[in-house]
Amino acid sequence: MTGCVAPAVAFGLLLLQAASSSVSGLEAIDRDISAGVYGNVDRLYVMRGSTVIADHSYPRDYRAISRGRVGPIGCGDGCADASWRHELNYLHPDWHPYFKGRDIHTLQSVTKSIAATAIGIALRRGKIRTLELPFLEHFADKDLSRVDPRLRKATIADLLTIRSGIEWHEQDRPFDDTNTTIQLERSRDWIEFTLDQPMDAAPGTKWAYNSGGSQLLSGIIRHATGRFIDDYLREQLLAPLGITDFHWKKTPTGHPDTEGGLYLPAAGLARIGELYLRDGVWNGQRILPERWVQQATTRHARDVASGWDYGYQWWITSQDGVDVWAGRGFGGQLLLVIPARDTVAVAYAWNVFGGPARNLASPLIAALTAAK
C-alpha cells in the first residue's frame, strides 16, 4: 500500500509520537531537577497508559539540609528541643519527607484527595446515604452547644468543596501562631478545635482553604463505617490496588490525619491517580461510585488567588484546553491526572527550607499536555 497508512498502524504511530514528545519534555525537566532548578525534588514518576515513561529518584541528604534549622513548623537534625520529638516535626529527617528511612514519602495535602476518595467509597457501600446530609449528624458525640446555627446546615458536599462557612486563616497567614492550621496541629482534639471555630459565611457561599474541614472527613468516616479511615482504606482502596506500604500519622485522639498525614511510595500514589483515570474501576472491579470521578473533578469552586478550580478535595486546571486534575501538597507534592493524554504523574519534593526554587507544577503540566 502506498500513499497512506493503515488505520491501526496510524494510531500506533500517533501513540509513539505522543510518547516521544512527552519523554522529550520530561528529559528536559529531569535535567533541570538534577541541576537544582526546582529545589529539593525527590521523585518524578510518570505513566502514560500502562507504561511508565519516567521514573527518576533524586537523593537528598536531609540530615545535612535540615541541620540547625528551627522554625514554627519544626526543628532539624541535631535538634535538642524535646518538644519537637514527634511526627509533626516538618523539618526533621526522621519524619519528613520520608518516614523513618522507608521509601514512603509525605503527601501533605494530597492526603485530602484520598480522604475524599474514602467518602466516595463509603457512599457507594451505603455507609453514607447522601452528600447532602448535614455533616454534624456524624458528630453527635461532640459538644455542639457553641456551634454557630448556620453550621448545622452545612453538608458533606460543603466540606468536600471547602465551602462550609467556617472561618479559617491558612493561606492568608504566615506559618506562625496566627495561622489556624498551626493552631489546629498544636491542639489536642483536631475535630473539636475545628468545630469550635467561628463562621464567616453561610455554608456553600464562600470558598476558603481549610485543612480543619478536611480533618472532619476523618471523623465522618469513623462514624459512618465504625472504623478509622486508615483501616477502612487499607481494605477498600489500598489492598485492591496492590498498595501494601504506607504510613498515616495520627492525631492525639487517634484519628488519622486527613489534612496531610498520609505517606505513600510514588508508584502507589500513581495507582490512585490511575483509578480516577479509569473512572473508579480497577482490574474490572468498581471501587468508586459511578459518576463519582466526574463529580469529584467538576469545578465546584474557584481559588481566585491561584487561578485553580476546586472539586471534591481535588484541584482542577487546564493547559491549552486540556483539563488536569491534581492533588497538591505543601513542600511540592503533586499528583496529576490528565485524561485526554491518558497520563498520571507523581512528583515528590521537600521545598520547606527557604531558598530560590522554581515551581515544578507549571512546566510539568506543560510537558505532559503538549503531546497529542
Helices and strands in the chain, H and E counts: 11, 15
Tell me the per-residue pLDDT of 32-51, one tens digit each, with 9 for 90 and over.
999 999 999 999 999 999 89
| Sequence-ordered list of residues with C-beta below 8 angstroms from that of 25, at least 6 positions apart, any chain | 366, 367, 368, 370, 371
Q: How far apart are the first and last CA of the chain?
A: 26
Give the pLDDT of residue 372. 66
Q: What CA–CA distances, in Å, run from 345 to 9, 102, 280?
A: 27, 21, 17
User: Which spans in the chain are helix H?
Assistant: 7-34, 62-66, 110-124, 156-160, 180-185, 190-195, 211-225, 229-233, 266-277, 292-296, 361-370
- 173-194 average pLDDT score: 96
Q: Which among 352, 360, 339, 262 has a CA at the least distance from the CA of 296?
A: 339
Return the residue matching grid coordinates 509525605: 106
* φ, ψ of residue 328 in degrees (nearest 5): -130, 140
Domains of the chain: which residue ranges? 15-370
Tell me the per-residue pLDDT of 72-81, one tens digit each, with 9 for 90 and over.
999 999 999 9
Does pLDDT of 1 surpass 50?
no
Give the pLDDT of residue 8. 40
pTM above 0.95, yes or no: no
Q: In a 10 Å sphere around its CB, with 0-12 CB exposed, 13-18 middle and 19+ buried, how is residue 339 labelled? A: middle
Return the residue matching grid coordinates 458528630: 139
d(CA 92, CA 253): 23
- 281-300 average pLDDT score: 98
Using 50, 70 and 90 to split pLDDT, how confident is the model at 22? low
Return the residue matching grid coordinates 522529550: 24
d(CA 155, CA 137): 10
Q: How many C-beta neighbours within 10 Å does residue 34 have?
A: 12
- Pull the grid cell for residue 281: 474501576
State the amino acid at position 108 in one-letter form. Answer: Q
Tell me the per-residue pLDDT of 216-263, one tens digit each, with 9 for 90 and over.
999 999 999 999 999 999 999 999 999 999 999 999 999 999 999 999
Does pLDDT of 320 surpass 90?
yes
Calculate ∠ Cα 145-150-155, nearest 5°.
100
* φ, ψ of residue 75 in degrees (nearest 5): -145, 125
State the amino acid at position 65 in one-letter form. Answer: I
Hey, which residues does 345 pair with through a beta bridge?
46, 336
- Contact yes or no for 91/40 (Cβ under 8 A): no
200, HSE (Cβ side, Cα atoms, 13 Å): 8
Using 50, 70 and 90 to split pLDDT, how confident is the model at 323? very high
Does pLDDT of 21 surpass 60?
no
Q: Which CATH superfamily is domain 15-370 in?
A: DD-peptidase/beta-lactamase superfamily (3.40.710.10)
Q: How many C-beta neighbours within 10 Å does residue 33 have?
A: 22
- 127-147 average pLDDT score: 95
State the amino acid at position 135 in one-letter form. Answer: F
- Pull the grid cell for residue 339: 485524561
Does pLDDT of 10 surpass 60?
no
| Sequence-ordered list of residues with C-beta below 8 angstroms from that of 9, at least 6 positions apart, any chain | none
Give the pLDDT of residue 142. 94
Q: Compute the Cα dihedral for 244, 247, 253, 258 and give only its sign.
A: negative
